[in-house]
Amino acid sequence: MERSDDEGYESERQGSSDEEATNSRMDHGETGSHVAGVLNAAEDAAETIRAKARRDADEILRDAKADAAARVEELTREAARVRLEADDYARDIRAAVDSYGTQARREAEEQARKLLADAEEQARATREAAQEMGVQIEADARRRHESLVREARSLEERRQRVLDGLRDLAAQLQDALVEPTSRDVDESLADALDIERRR
């Protein structure tokens, strides 16, 4: 956006140079409105960039929270399914070993308890992994949001520098509109060169 403003300004300046070649007297009446137009365009561009950065950050954060919640829910359902399967398996084992006597029944129940404990451990680990993943996704989204905020701040600072430069240019143009004495011309030329050297 700023590039097109610069190109427009260059085009206007070229057109102004052509007019100077054809007219011996230059009309400075529109200079201020051109500078104001450039300043307004720069402010509009910065506001557009800032608004887009905010919208992108909010959207990323919403998506990350939705993804984290969906993933946690999916992993919780998987853990419940594993527990149900383990319970079913344990019941089947107990029913099958009833006919083999007390010893066989005790062994089968022990195995069922172990399977159930393993399933609960797996469900717990899956749930913890899902929660960690959700925390990680939120942290990533927060980092992305902070990065976008920093970028927006950097763009705001850049916009301010551009505005300050344009204000300096406007002041210099206003000074140039005043009929200078020969001494003023020498001093303003020296000041302008000094400004350029400081940049």
Burial 108-147 (b: 16+ CB within 10 A, else e): beeebeebeeebeeebeebbeebeeebeebeeebeeebee
Angle at alpha carbon of residue 19, lines to 16 and 25, rounded to 5°: 105
The two structure tokens encoding residue 62: 């919403």
Q: Look at the pTM and tell me if it is higher than 0.75.
A: no
Distance, CA of 119 to CA of 88 (rounded, Å): 12
Round to the nearest angstrom and report the end-to-end CA distance of the chain.
Answer: 23
Chain position carrying tokens 């300043």: 39
User: Is there a contact between 148 and 57 (Cβ–Cβ < 8 Å)?
Assistant: yes
Mean pLDDT of 12-35: 58
Task: Render pLDDT for 90-102 as a digit per residue (tens, 0 to 9).
Answer: 888 877 767 667 8
Task: Render pLDDT for 110-151 as a digit per residue (tens, 0 to 9).
Answer: 888 999 899 888 888 888 888 888 889 888 888 998 999 999
Amino acid in the structure at residue 179: E
